[in-house]
Amino acid sequence: MTVPQDDRGLLLGDGLFETLLARGGALEHWDSHLARLTAGCETLGLPAPDGAAARRLCEQAVDDASLSRAAVRLTLTAGSGGRGLDRPAQAQPRLFVTASPSPAPTGPVQLVTVGVRRNEHSPASRLKTLSYLDNVLARRQAGGAEALMLNTAGEVACAAAANLFWVRDGRLQTPALDRGVLDGIMRGLVIARARARGIAVEEVRVGRTALDGAAGLFLTNSLIGVRPVSMLDGRPVEDSPLVALVS
């Protein structure tokens, strides 16, 4: 698909996206991804896409790519709009899908605290908008590791492309959503799994030092599932059996 030069997603980052995992041609957690996209459209004042049509586009992209494990990106822009910030009176969103190979991750990941901050006061920090430059810069600053991002108050927020969990005194902790955190699909699943197994989960507001000495530090997103962190800022991270229970 060719995106016109006046597309607002291209020019202004005005739009949303979802990244789904497809295995064996099947889209995982489709209903949750569609619900988040629909809620994001309401926040941005955009018409939500037809769910059935969007799903067909995703499935067709996977079929065309002939991939057994694929990252499926569903992109919704605010459509064409001419020059300036104001949208046309009747926005006509543009929807397109791509599918790329997504090999299963192997082994743990290293995490490095970076200087790029999440703005917890911005509505965009809780949406998958097309403006991801802060995340791009954070990953670049991490120099080949994954980036640990704090918010403007110096509180732990997330990784550049994942939610963050850790174990403290037998409880699972994760940053609260109002700290500049995306409400990740896998984040919600991990919280539900933990509580179903009787593991306490706390959504917290803490500074970076709260991670020192924490056990079972791990990242989550739709493509990696649950991925342990082995090193944080050059120091080994303790293992915890709770990680396997929620994976």
Domains along the sequence of the chain with CATH: 8-101 (3.30.470.10), 109-246 (3.20.10.10)
| Residue with tokens 């079929």, as numbered in its chain | 63
Please, which residues have CB within 8 angstroms of residue 237's CB and are 6 or more apart in sequence? 214, 215, 216, 217, 228, 229, 230, 231
Residue 44 has pLDDT above 90, yes or no: yes
What is the structure's pLDDT at 3?
86
Please, which residues have CB within 8 angstroms of residue 168's CB and are 6 or more apart in sequence? 210, 214, 215
Give the residue, 193 or 1, on which the prediction is more confident: 193
pLDDT-derived band at 90, boundaries 50, 70, 90:
confident
Q: Is 70 exposed, middle or buried (0-12, 13-18, 19+ CB in 10 A)?
A: buried
Angle at 161 between CA 15 and CA 146, to 5 degrees: 150
